[in-house]
Structure formats: C-alpha cells, structure tokens
Amino acid sequence: MRILKGDMVVVSAGDDRAKQPRRVLRLVEGGARIVVEGVNRVYRHVRKGHPKSPQGGRLSVEMPIAVSNVQVYCPKCNRGVRVGSRVDEAGKKFRGCRKCGSQLTANK
C-alpha cells in the first residue's frame, strides 16, 4: 500500500470531500481502509462506567474510510497526487509524486 500512517491526504470522494489536507491516524483491515483525522465522524453511545466516558453519553469518533477515496497530498504541487516508487542517486528507494517527482515522506 502506498499510504502510510502519518501521511497527509486529501479526501477525494464521499461526504467529507475537502480541499485541505488531513493526517492519517491508522490503517485498518490490512490497509484496505484508513482512519483520517476529522473525517467520517460518528457518535458512539456508551453506558455509564465506560473507560473513556464514566458518565456515559455520546462519544464522537472517526470511522474508517476506503483507501481509494483519498490521495496523498504533495506540498510542492499543493494538491492530492498519485504516488510511485522512485530511486535516488544513492540507490535508495522512496515514495515520490508522479506529477513533480518530489519525495513524499510520512510525518510521524
């Protein structure tokens, strides 16, 4: 998979489609789905005594979205782009933007 935890992505499909980049929080189900910060938020109703909310009530949590609905954000192109593998002068492999060729790294 070409999307990693900590990458900045742009949501390109669905109700939460947006122009501003968001951070990937975690990968789910073998990389087929990802959890993106502030996207696909739902309410979880919990009972009293729950570890995250002792009083009970509604918790707002992010749910996974399909990895096909996001694109990695390239700061040089200033938009979502496709990602490919490239090799630098030292012979080291890295993920690069298909449009401009700049190196894309995960900010962990």
- For residue 106, what pLDDT is reported? 58
Which residues are CB-neighbours of 107 under 8 A, at least 6 positions away?
Answer: 6, 7, 8, 23
Q: Can you read off the two tokens belonging to residue 86?
A: 């490239």
d(CA 54, CA 62) in angstroms, rounded, equals 20
Find out whether 85 and 60 touch, Cβ atoms under 8 Å.
no
- For residue 1, what pLDDT is reported? 58
d(CA 86, CA 66) in angstroms, rounded, equals 25
The domain 8-97 is placed in CATH, from the list 2.30.30.30, 3.30.750.24, 1.10.540.10, 3.40.50.620, at 2.30.30.30
d(CA 69, CA 20) in angstroms, rounded, equals 14
- For residue 107, what pLDDT is reported? 52
| pLDDT tens, residue order, the chain (108 aa) | 588 899 999 999 988 887 789 999 999 988 799 999 999 999 999 889 888 788 888 989 999 999 999 999 999 998 988 988 888 888 888 888 888 878 887 554
Task: Look at the pTM and tell me if it is higher than 0.85.
Answer: no
Which residue from 24, 29, 21, 20 is spatially nearest to 6, judged by alpha carbons? 24
Which residues partner with 28 through β-bridges?
Answer: 33
